Amino acid sequence: MNNGALVGLIALCIALFIATPYFLTVANLLNIGIQAATVAILAFGMTFVIVTAGIDLSVGSVAALGAMVSAYMFSTAGLPGWLTLLIGLIVGALAGAICGMATAWGKIPSFIATLAMMSIARGLTLVISQGSPIETAPAVNAFGGDIAGFPVPIIMMVIAGLMCWFILERTVLGRSMYAIGGNLEAARLSGLPVKRIQIAVFALSGFFAAWAGMVMAGRLESAQPQAGTGYELDAIAAVVIGGASLSGGQGKATGTLVGAILLAVIRNGLNLLNVSSFWQQIVIGLVIALAVGFDVIRNKTAS
């Protein structure tokens, strides 16, 4: 994990604790966790892609599509809630797998393949919904609720983080991701099924995106046609802030979690300090630029 991000998060928390008495309260900390959850789940899926030196611009739209398909199947087709939840997650994984196929078999750069999927998924979401929210199943609503007063989105974030950590650190697939991101040609020559792994990576990203979409829909108890707009940038930022390299071969679940929480803390702190939302966008943009800048410097130093 990028220790700089963790140090920055701690320093920011201390500064906000000094600046406002409302920051270090249980209610506000839980609020930060809820705000971070959706971006973190998206970012965990994004971590797999960035580790393999790819990029996925479709996650925000895929999140909306997965939730919308689930809601449509529940409200219109009358399917059981648990089944609509499963269908939504599968739709996300399939959308990701299509991007992986385009990248692995079609040799289309991941930037272009996922940019196309971003537009397709958003368009399908609008076609299905006709531009209006659709009620979600109780099984989906549970993702945005709470258990004994503790927010379920935070629980979902922890589970997603553990899954990301396990895949990256304890599986052959995870080790293969690092190998492909480090040197794709060397990975291919060593006998790794590079194309299958690339497809699996994007399928995982789509699955996590749909998962995040369920959390967003669950909080509102409805699937929104414009949900997740712009979230792909926050997800990428969280991964890079957490120490991953856009050149591939680097990235950890713990770092991604820190990056997502750091973004949530920045937004929360600026809200508490009554900073205009316009200025908030500028601050977030600067943080992203600095993170990418450090990544470039780190790569140059390593080479």
CA–CA gap between residue 66 and residue 77 (Å, rounded)? 15
CA–CA gap between residue 39 and residue 89 (Å, rounded)? 17
Q: What is the pTM of this model?
A: 0.94
Give all domains of the chain, ordered by start, each with its CATH number: 3-13+33-296 (1.10.3470)
Stretch 118-123: mean pLDDT: 98
Cα dihedral: 225, 253, 98, 89 (round 10): -50
With 70 as the cut, is the pLDDT of residue 3 above it?
no
With 90 as the cut, is the pLDDT of residue 228 above it?
yes
* Residue range 42-61, pLDDT digits in tens: 999 999 999 999 999 999 99
Phi, psi of 301 (to 5 degrees): -65, -40
pLDDT at residue 8, rounded to an integer: 87
Model confidence at 122, in pLDDT bands (50, 70, 90)?
A: very high
pLDDT: which is higher, 292 or 32: 32
With 60 as the cut, is the pLDDT of residue 2 above it?
no
